[in-house]
Structure formats: C-alpha cells, structure tokens
Amino acid sequence: MQFLVLLCAASALSQGVTKLPLERGKKLREVLREKGLLHRFFQRHRYDIGTKFLHAFPNKLQVWFHALKATLAPAAPQMEYYGTISIGTPPQDFTVVFDTGSSNLWVPSISCTSLACQNHQMFNPSQSSTYKSTGQNLSIHYGTGDMEGIVGSDTVTVASLVDTNQLFGLSTTEPGQFFVHVKFDGILGLGYPNLAADGITPVFDNMVNASLLKENLFSVYLSRETTGSVVIFGGIDESYFTGSINWVSVSYQGYWQISMDSIIVNSQVIACSGGCQAVVDTGTSLVAGPPSGISNIQSAVGARQDTHGEYNVNCSSISAMPDVIFVIDGVQYPVSALAYTEQNNKGPCISSFQNTSGDLWILGDVFIRVYYSIFDRANNRVGLAKAI
C-alpha cells in the first residue's frame, strides 16, 4: 500500500511555539476495500464507536476503549493524519496519531511478536541510554483489537520539543488483524489527564509543566489537500483561518467535550434537538452520533445504505446536496456536501456520517478540516475558526 507523505520539516513559529507537519494517508476503509476485506470487517465490527471507560489497578494499568478508536467508522484506524515523533537516546522514530480523544502515548516494543508489531517500527529499550522501566503493565482494549504491554519512561521529542522522563506504553502483544493494516505505529493522546491511565501524565501536560510552551494550548489545521496539515504546540497561526475565533467552554474535562445546540439541514432541526454533548476529536475521521440523529441526517442528505453498511450518495448530486449545520453556543458551523462526502473510485461517493452507541456526538476530521481547532487548556475551552 502507498501513503501520501508530507515532505516538510517541523518548524518553530516563535520561541515556545512549535509546528509539526502531519502526513495524510489512506483510511483503513480504503485499504480494506482494495484488499477485498471490507465486507468481512463490517460483518464483525458495525458502526459503533461507543464510550471510553478507564479502570486503574495497582501495578496493572488498564484503559478500556469500548468499541472506540477501533471500528471502520469514526475511529483511529480510519484516521488520515499522522506525525513523526522520536523516543529515546539516540532517538528512535515513530509515526503516531495525535489524538484529542485519548490521553496516553504508546508504541510497539521490540519484544512484541505480533504481526501488527512486525509491520511497524518497534522501540528497543536496550538501545536507549535514557530508558527506565517502571514495572507496570498496560492494557488497552479496543472494539476491534487489543494492545497489551508495559510502561516505561524515556525522552520523547515532538518536533523541537524535548519531553524528558515521559511515561509511555510499549506494546508486547497486539493480537488480531486490526493493527496490522493501519499506517501509524502508535497513538499520542492529547486529551485531559483524567482520561489517561492512573499515574501517567500526558505528553502535553509534561510539556506545559516543563515550561516548553509559550501558551498552554495547541491547535490543529487539517488540510483538504495531501500536504499542509499541522499541529501547533503553544500557539495559534492566523494564516490557517479567516475571520474571528469563536470560543466554546469545555463541558467535561476528559475528552475535549462541548455543548452543542442542534443540527440543522434545510432550515429544519433534524438532530440534537434541545441540545446535546459533542467531542472535538482529531482521532476520529468522520462525524458520528446517536443512530436516530445520524439516520435523520443520512435521509436529509439523500444517502442510502449499501450491502457493506456504508451510506452512499450519487457523486453527480453532491453540488445540489444541502449543508449540514452544527449549531454550537449560538453559532452556526455549516459543513458542505463536498466536505462530508468522499469519492470512491470504484463506486458511488460515501457519506461521512456514522453511528455511535452512546449519546455523544463526535466531531472528527470531517468537521476539523472545515474549522481550524484550538484546544486551550489554560482556559478550558475550544476555539473554532473557518479554515482556509
């Protein structure tokens, strides 16, 4: 398989503000479709991203992502955007997802014999002079795959930012086929600390505690093109958006969770009537929500379900399809049909809305590509501005 790579170096905008370029590759859905495995995967894993649950036990840390970050719909394997970090001394490079919907960092370990690990970069503790073992075990359970391993401590470098003594997970087993097909090696969570396994301070918090950043925030621009996407630590880059920034208070400090007023199509409220909760999640490709609301959206935009369970639209009709408008704190955020559909070279265009099993709405990359997103920990708020 081939992935599109952004060929530019990380750069610092000013002291304490660092820009890291992101790669944009194929979704797992595209890869499985090309391999003829999509139908079988859908039979086993329906459109459910569920709810994350966290449990911590002495000497055995367990993070349960119940059917989250793990399905073909809005989930980590579908993510198109990845960045490169390094761990250890001398540095060992890894491709990771920068995920605002989780808070732990983990990568494969050299001691992992699973096929998924063998297909990716693996960290070798013996090759790092700064690595320290903690004696703790870590288990992360996804709806379609598991990661089990240990917790270690080492220097983590993100662009020009050097995060010393960072606790992170090292997978020793990744059973099943799920992680075999994904582009990324691991995940770097950018959620709040209480979403992380007990005792593990997230990478971003360590950066802030070490006074590495100019401001206690980061921002994300996801390009519609194959190049140009970035995550910016410690600042906001006005060249990536137009107009003003609308600030929305975080309603729960775990995910980057906010209150949403409603969802409108053709001047009618068709979902989230009376208000609902939403998560701005870089770790989810699509927009997801409760089945009744998603069904209303699919019907309103003219999407029809196929035998694989995907919702399709006629590609020639996209220009005439309505905007889907997310109303947040009284401000309307329209997402056009061009933004919420994707081209399938071997068939009809695909709708980028999918079901969850819970009540939360997930505003993933489909939304973030349209709205430059700022994650402000200092003021516990999310900033949204029209992306260029």
Phi, psi of 12 (to 5 degrees): -100, 125
Are 265 and 46 within 8 A, CB to CB?
A: no
**What is the rounded distance in angstroms from the CA atom of residue 314 to the CA atom of residue 21?**
34
Q: With CA atoms as reference, report the closest residue to 255 among 277, 275, 231, 285.
A: 277
3-state secondary structure of 290: coil
DSSP one-letter code for 123: B
3-state secondary structure of 170: strand
**Counting Cβ atoms within 10 Å, is residue 58 exposed (0-12), middle (13-18) or buried (19+)?**
exposed
Catalytic residue among 48, 99, 146, 365: 99
Residue 230: beta bridge partners? 21, 221
205 is catalytic: no
Q: With CA atoms as reference, report the closest residue to 116 among 68, 60, 55, 70.
A: 70
| CA 181 and chain centroid, separation | 17
281 is catalytic: yes
Phi, psi of 237 (to 5 degrees): -110, 110
Structure tokens belonging to residue 42: 């859908």
CA dihedral 244, 360, 260, 335 (to 10 degrees): 50
Catalytic residue among 146, 154, 205, 281: 281
Structure tokens belonging to residue 365: 């990359």
Q: How many CA atoms lie within 13 A of 15 on its CB side?
A: 1
Are 117 and 298 within 8 A, CB to CB?
A: no
**What is the rounded distance in angstroms from the CA atom of residue 151 to the CA atom of residue 337?**
44
Q: Which residues contact 212 (CB under 8 A, 6 or more apart)?
A: 16, 161, 162, 163, 234
**Catalytic residue positions, numbered:** 99, 281
